[in-house]
């Protein structure tokens, strides 16, 4: 998918100011689809879900197996993962079959690989949320 100058500028800014993006092509594609379809609300919902996943994932990584609250955090993690998957399916409904298949294979399966891919995508969505928050509160 060819990215617009605006989308590329966002990716360049994030790359320069945040930790390295893990899925820049997919974030770019999602931003482009959102701009083309006017799906700003759905995009914001995905950004928030990604931020939530990344936050819960960070907490889980710091916990020890069997630690109090671990089960609740794991349940919350899976709830957020399913939320993001549902949002992706809805968001990609109007895209080409090629784009949908690529996202389906990468993010919508139930393998360890797709879970890792969703965590990586969530990392990048969290970076977008941080950018939104800086723009909102630092102005």
**CA 95, CA 26: separation in Å to the nearest integer?**
13
In b/e form, how buried is each residue of 44-56, taking b as 16+ CB within 10 angstroms?
A: ebbbbbbbbbbbb
**Tokens linked to 80:** 């957020």
Helix (H, G, I), strand (E, B) or coil at 12: helix
- Specify whether the CB–CB gap between 124 and 106 falls below 8 A: no
pLDDT digit string, tens, across residues 6-32: 999 999 998 888 678 999 999 999 999
- Specify whether the CB–CB gap between 70 and 63 falls below 8 A: yes
- Specify whether the CB–CB gap between 131 and 18 falls below 8 A: yes
Total domains in the fold of the chain:
1
State which residues form the domain around 85.
5-137
pLDDT digit string, tens, across residues 31-83: 999 999 999 999 999 999 999 999 999 999 999 888 899 999 999 999 999 99
Quick one: pLDDT at residue 20? 87
Tokens 């784009």 found at: 99
Q: How many other C-beta atoms can be found within 10 angstroms of the C-beta atom of residue 60?
A: 15
pTM: 0.92
């Amino acid at each position: 998918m060819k990215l617009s100058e605006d989308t590329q500028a966002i990716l360049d800014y994030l790359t320069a100011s945040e930790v390295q993006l893990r899925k820049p092509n997919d974030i770019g594609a999602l931003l482009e689809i959102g701009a083309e379809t006017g799906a700003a609300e759905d995009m914001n919902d995905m950004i928030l879900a990604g931020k939530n996943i990344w936050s819960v994932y960070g907490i889980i990584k710091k916990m020890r197996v069997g630690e109090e609250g671990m089960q609740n955090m794991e349940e919350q993690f899976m709830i957020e993962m399913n939320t993001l998957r549902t949002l992706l399916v809805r968001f990609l409904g109007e895209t080409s079959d090629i784009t949908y298949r690529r996202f389906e294979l990468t993010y919508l399966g139930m393998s360890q690989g797709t879970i890792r891919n969703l965590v990586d995508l969530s990392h990048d969505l969290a970076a977008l949320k941080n950018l939104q928050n800086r723009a909102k509160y630092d102005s």
